[in-house]
Each structure stands twice: as structure tokens, then as C-alpha cells.
Structure 1
Amino acid sequence: MDIRKCILLSLLVIALVVPALAGVQFLYGKPEMSAVISGTNEFSPGVETPLAIVVSNSGTNPIMEVDPTKITPQDPPNLAKLVKVGLESGDAPVEIKSDPQMLGDIPGGVSKPVTFVVKFDKNAKASTYDLPLTLTYQYVDWNEQEKGSTILQTDYRTKTETISLPVTVKSDVNLEVEQVETEHLNVGTEGYLKLVLKNVGDEHAGKAVAKLVPDANGPLVPTDGSVYIGAFNPGDVTTCVFKVSTSKDAEPQTYPLKVVVEYEKANGEKGTSDTEVVGVPVGGKIDFTIVSTASTVHPGQKATIEVTYKNSGSAMAYNAQARISAVDPFTSNDDTAYLGDLAPGESAVARYTVSVDKEATLKNYGLDSEVRYRDALDNSQISDTMKLTVDVVKAEGLGAVMSNPIVIAAVLAVLIGAGYYIVRARKSK
């Protein structure tokens, strides 16, 4: 190998080794921060949603110096340190529900996500608004190293900058319930729910349909839960009447129920309004009680017992019919009685004819009784089962005598003899 090749090889080795050992400094550079909303930036009035934002640092270090006598700084000038991010509402009709968040260090060419929970006002008008995003961070201002020293001094500057993030409130049907009324809606029955709805949004809706949304765990069940509205333009007010049934296990109180409007936008797209929750008052159930005293019957006899039923509930019962369940020692071919229409607090008397077995034990018996009736919407209903008390007692006086079989046989014998005597006397004449 000649001398020239040896010199070139030595220079190449020096060129490769010196940069690795030398100090590297960037003479110029700084963070360049930006932020954008990830995903859609269009939202409906009244919606609460997480808002995903991506914060990026596009800063570069264009000029680099390699000096074997200098110390390499710990942080490059384009590094954004201790980045803190806060979102504000500005003039937008929105509430920011998340506090400012720390993102840490963001080097040049790196992006980091952050999420804030926001809620747009229910009455927000359709428009585009700017949400101010505030970034606070530190970056290298200058580095200083005295000649021949092994100490490097670095000074950091704190910077706060605001980035505007545009969000759009969509034109939508914004639903407002102006009035809630019920009719004949009681525990265990079906009734009407009347809602007065207003479109306080900006969307000109067509083919609109109002719908009730039941609560899976609630006692209210829509039996006719859709009402066609048609055109439902901004400012329009419409009255919708729904049929709703109430569980028998409910209590007389106010229960929540949701209502929503589905419609067609001017461009043909399908749309759904915000969901409104309304309080639906439910009255007490229709109930019956037996208010008469116990009836008394005798073994081996047929008797008519009278029972007084009272509507102790909170609503009208129509075409009420009472019935009893005759069990041993009772039998009956007349176990149903018509009571008619009974308003709350009204009473009616039912009469049943029963026969008592002659071997019946003398004691108090309880017979099951119930009332079948119709509610205000002509639905057939059955009351809770009631206990009718019947006392079986020993017959006394003339009744006891006439119930004795020997006496009955003697009376029959006398009657037969008397009849025979009368017939013979007539023939002899």
C-alpha cells in the first residue's frame, strides 16, 4: 500500500471518530406547535361528547455545529417541555367539563393526543364557533459554556400560545316539551299521555314522527307510542297524544319517560332530535273492598247472601261484575252479580244464592271474590282477590224444627193423610 492510500485511510478514520466524540450544538431552532380536532368537528345541540385533539410539534433544528471542545446540550432547541393543554369555550355555546391536562415533553416531529369532554348547549344555534386551546410549555432560550470549562448553562423560556379550534353546531331539530298532561292513566290501567312539543332548533324537518322511548326498568309501557307530525319547522308547536299502560306493580307517583322526534332533512338525510325526558304522573289504581258484615247460613239450607262492594280506588270502574268462588261445603248456580258503574267511593250490593251441605262444619268460611270491570279505555281488568266471610251456624227455632228430618217426615205424613181424608170425603158425598 502506497503512502497516499495510508493518508486517505487515516483521514477517513478520523472523520468517523471525531463527530462521535465531539460536542453537538444546534445553532437555531424552536418548537412549532399546532393542534387539530381528530375526527368530526360537527355536533348536534345538547350533545355531550369527548372531543379528541391532536397536539403536534413541527419545529426543526436546521443548523448544527460539531465542536470537540463543547458539551452537547441536554435538550435541543425545538423540544417543547412540560406541555400543558387547556380548552376553553370562548364565545361558543359549549361547556368544557375537563380540566387542563399535562402532555409532558413533545419533541420536534412528534404528536400527542388529548381528550376533553364537552357539552353543547341545548339551545345552541347552528353556526361555526372557535374553541380556544391554550398551550403552555418551555423551550431552550440559550446555552452558554465558557472556553475550557466543563460546565454548560442552559436557560429556558416559558411560552403560552392559543390555537383556535373550529367546531360546527349542526342544523337540527331541537326538541322542547312545553306541556305534559295525562288522562285516565292509573296504576294497572291504560290511559292517554298528551305532549305539546316545540322545535326550537334551526332545521326544517319533514316527515317528522314523535316517538316515546320506554325505560326498560320503568312501569310505563307505550301501547301506541308513535305520532306522525309531518312538517316540523323552526318555531312550530304540535300536540301529540300517546297511549300508555302502567304496570300493576307501580305506585301512584311521577315516572320518567323519554320522547324523541325522527325526521327527514331538506337534503333527504335522516335525522333524530335530541332526547327529552318528561315526568308522567300516574294516579292510584282502581281497587275494591268488601264493606258488608259476614253472612250467616245454616247446614242443609239454601240461602241468599248479600255482599256490599266499594270502589276504594282512585278512578272510575265501568260495567263492574262481582263473582264468588263457591267451594265445599257451598255450591251455587248463581255466583255472578252485576254492580254497574262505580265511581271512587261508591258502593253496590251483590246477591248470591248458595246451598250449604247438610254435613257442613259449623264455623267461619272465607270465599274468594273478585270484580271484573272495564277501565276508561274499555280495557277489561280484574281486581285483586278479596275474602268474603260466611258463617255456618246451627239453625234455631222454627228453622231448626223444619230442618229436622224426622219432623219433616212427620209433617209429610200428616199432609198426605189429610189429603187422603179430603179425597175420601169428597167421594162419599
Structure 2
Amino acid sequence: MYGSKLLTTMLILLVMIPVCYASYIPQSFSLSDNYYTVYGGPELDAVIAGESEFERGDDVYLLIDIYNYGKILGFDSDKTPSNANEIALAQIEKNYEEGVTTAIGILATLENPYDAPFDIKSPTQSVGSLRGGEKTHAPVEFELKVYEDAPAGEYTLILNLTYEYQKNVEISGTPNMPEVNFWYDDEVTYIPIKVKVKKEPLFEVVSVDCDLYPGKKSIIEVVYKNVGEETAREAIARVSVVDPFSSIDDQAYLGDIEPNGTATAIFKLKVDSDAVAKPYAIDSEIKYKDEIGDTKISDIIKIPVEVKQSEGGIIPIEKIVVVIGIVIGIIIGRYFFKRKFDMGKR
């Protein structure tokens, strides 16, 4: 367990480091006309701009601002200008070299390498270019679906940013008609994005007790369990029925249900006389107050039930035994009565 946590921590730290692709010198780049080598480049980071904590089952948009903190760290002189033309060309190159901090054509992809309980619905987003010191004009949006059964807690998603940057510039020609050659490299930066699933009650049905027959009224006893992390206060369960059921009493007060606690609801239903004997699922939901007193309604909770064959359709074995006993009794009685009657005649 400890080794797994350590490995995850190391991976998260590693993804924060920009990764350069293989670098190839352009054919137009001679290096003999290069006056300066510039140190520095883009430095991208990302911050959540809106909500970062969501409820189970939510369809949400995660808003992310992207910043470029890139700076020029220094210059090296590769070639000393020897005349006025070269001095002018060197100055032109230096001006172009300041573009080294610009991240060009940024593409943002939100990834889920650690199997967080989210479904990322948005594809790769085009962000454009960011100069050093700039941020996105508007947050980048990613649509997420939080799993219905997501455990509460903090999770890590990864923002994958790929872009080009200007690695070097070479100037030739004359100051009036300079020939500018650019050398671009590809780079990718991985940024961890922390999101949370909110602590809240979560319900499931743990047992159902009922006897349902066509044309009959019946009581359904349902035991709910709070498998979430917070107490559900003043909880009320309610069923929503469709054919072949109709409700007589469709609500039940459950009270406060603590985490891992249970509560029993009793509903009164009637089954249509023409109901088919088979398994069904009845929709239910629980209305409750959360920790700060706000009223919440749970997702639909299915109650599995079964309508059994009508009691009039198949005679229970007990009744069959009683009937057989009565018939045998009648036969034996008639036998002894007839025998006594015959003996009297003699």
C-alpha cells in the first residue's frame, strides 16, 4: 500500500515537468549566421477557475485558466558582429529572440490516468497562443460526468498541454531586407488538476419484504441503508408507481440516517387484477436535509419486487391436503354407514 502511494506521488511530481520532443535543426538553419542563443522558454501552468467540488451524478463543466509564466533567463553571444550591417542584423535577431517565451498553438486535453470516478466527455480543446506573462482570455471548458457511486474524496486529473515554441532565430541578408529563419520545437506539459467529490448521503436498498398478488392490497417493507459519508436528517422515503401498481400510502418517515445506518419504510400498494406475475422494479427516492439544513432529494432508488401467481390460480398444497382428507373421510364414512345398513337388513 505504501509503495503504491509513493509511486503515485512520484508520478504526479513527474508530470509537472515539461517534456521536450526530439529536436531537429531545420535545413535552412546554418548556425554560422546565428548571433545569439537565448535561454528560457514558455512555462505553462493551470488553475481551476470555477467549482472544483461536485456531487455524485452531476454533469458539470470544469473551468480552467491557463497561464504562461515564461521568461528570458539570459543571452549568449555566438557570433560577434564585425561591421555596421552585422550590428544591425544582430539587433534584429535579438528582437526576434524575445519570442522564445511564446507558447504557440496550445492544445489542451484533460486525461484520467488514475481512474478517478469521472467520465471526461470533452475532446481536445484549442487554446491558441500565449506570450510570456499572458493567460487565457476565457477559461477552457471541459465537460465531466461524476459517477453515481463515486466515493467522496479528492482525485487527480491530468491536463495535457502540447504546443510549439521558438527555439532559435537566425538572421542573414541586409538590415533593409533581412532573411529570418525560425527554429521551432514541440513540447508537452502535464499539469495535475485536483477535483473533489462532495461528502453526502448515498442510499441503497438492502432488503424488501412483501407478498404481491393480482387484485390484492399489500404492504411493502423496505430497508434502506446510508452508504454515504454524511447523515441524512429528517429523511422521508417516497415511491413513484406505474401500472400494474397504484399507491394507497406512498410515503414513509425515516428520521435521521447516519452513515452505515439503516431505516425501514412501509408502503401500501394495490396490484391491478390483470397484473402479470413476474419481477418488477418500483422507483423510490429519499428527501432529506443535509448538514447545513438544505433540502436534498436522492437519485432514483430501485425497489425489486415480484408479483406472484394469483392465489385463485393455483391451490396451495395445504388446501389440497385438507380437501383430500375430507374426501377420504367421506368415503370411509359412507363405507361404514353402508356396512351397518346392510347388517341391519339381515
TM range (shorter): 0.5 to 0.7
Alpha-carbon displacement from aligned partner over 1:67-106 (angstroms, at most 9, x marks no partner): 9855896994444333332333455741334365131523
**Aligned amino acid, residue 81 of structure 1:** I
Higher strand fraction: Structure 1 or Structure 2?
1
Answering whether residue 313 of structure 2 is matched by residue 344 of structure 1, we say: yes
Q: 2 CA distance for matches of 1:55 and 1:272? A: 33
Answering whether residue 107 of structure 2 is matched by residue 84 of structure 1, we say: yes
Distance 1:198 1:345, change over 3 A: closer
Answering whether residue 34 of structure 2 is matched by residue 34 of structure 1, we say: no
The equivalences for 1:252-401 within 5 A come to 252-283=277-308, 314-316=309-311, 343-345=312-314
Aligned to 1:103: 126
Higher helix fraction: Structure 1 or Structure 2?
2
Q: 1 CA distance for matches of 2:101 and 2:271? A: 67
Distance 1:143 1:234, change over 3 A: same
Alpha-carbon displacement from aligned partner over 1:221-273 (angstroms, at most 9, x marks no partner): 44322111112011112222212344567543333332222222333333333
Aligned to 1:410: none
Q: 2 CA distance for matches of 1:136 and 1:93? A: 23
CA shift at 1:173, angstroms? 0.9
Distance 1:240 1:142, change over 3 A: same
In the alignment, which of 204, 209, 212 is matched to residue 184 of structure 1?
212
Contact 1:130-1:166 at 8 Å conserved across structures: yes
- Between the two structures, name the one with larger relative contact order (CA 8 Å, sep ≥ 6): 2
In the alignment, which of 90, 94, 98 is matched to residue 117 of structure 2?
94
Answering whether residue 133 of structure 2 is matched by residue 138 of structure 1, we say: no
Q: 1 CA distance for matches of 2:289 and 2:282? A: 24
Distance 1:223 1:135, change over 3 A: farther
CA shift at 1:281, angstroms? 2.6
Contact 1:57-1:80 at 8 Å conserved across structures: no
Contact 1:173-1:274 at 8 Å conserved across structures: no
In the alignment, which of 160, 177, 184 is matched to residue 188 of structure 2?
160
**Aligned amino acid, residue 180 of structure 1:** V
Alpha-carbon displacement from aligned partner over 1:148-204 (angstroms, at most 9, x marks no partner): 374322222222222232222222111121223432243x55433332211111112
Aligned to 1:303: none
In the alignment, which of 222, 239, 249 is matched to residue 212 of structure 1?
239
**Aligned amino acid, residue 49 of structure 1:** D
Contact 2:154-2:196 at 8 Å conserved across structures: yes
Q: Which structure 1 residue ranges, 5 or more long, are not aligned?
A: 1-26, 284-313, 317-342, 347-429
Aligned to 2:66: 56
Contact 1:198-1:237 at 8 Å conserved across structures: yes
What's the TM-score once normalised by structure 1's chain length?
0.50
Q: 1 CA distance for matches of 2:275 and 2:88? A: 86
**Aligned amino acid, residue 162 of structure 1:** Y
Q: Which structure 2 residue ranges, 5 or more long, are not aligned?
A: 1-37, 74-86, 316-346
Q: 2 CA distance for matches of 1:106 and 1:246? A: 65
CA shift at 1:219, angstroms? 4.3
Q: 2 CA distance for matches of 1:230 and 1:272? A: 14
Aligned to 1:334: none
Contact 2:108-2:127 at 8 Å conserved across structures: no
Distance 1:75 1:250, change over 3 A: farther
CA shift at 1:278, angstroms? 3.5
Q: 1 CA distance for matches of 2:263 and 2:102? A: 60
Q: 2 CA distance for matches of 1:77 and 1:190? A: 79
Report how many aligned residue pairs link the two structures: 257
Distance 1:156 1:276, change over 3 A: farther
Distance 1:104 1:190, change over 3 A: same
Distance 1:162 1:179, change over 3 A: same
Answering whether residue 239 of structure 2 is matched by residue 228 of structure 1, we say: no
Distance 1:133 1:245, change over 3 A: farther
**Aligned amino acid, residue 194 of structure 1:** E
Q: 2 CA distance for matches of 1:52 and 1:135? A: 16
**Aligned amino acid, residue 251 of structure 2:** S
**What do you get for the CA RMSD once the two structures are aligned?**
3.6
Answering whether residue 70 of structure 2 is matched by residue 44 of structure 1, we say: no
**Aligned amino acid, residue 306 of structure 2:** P
Aligned to 1:366: none
Equivalent position SS for 2:184: strand
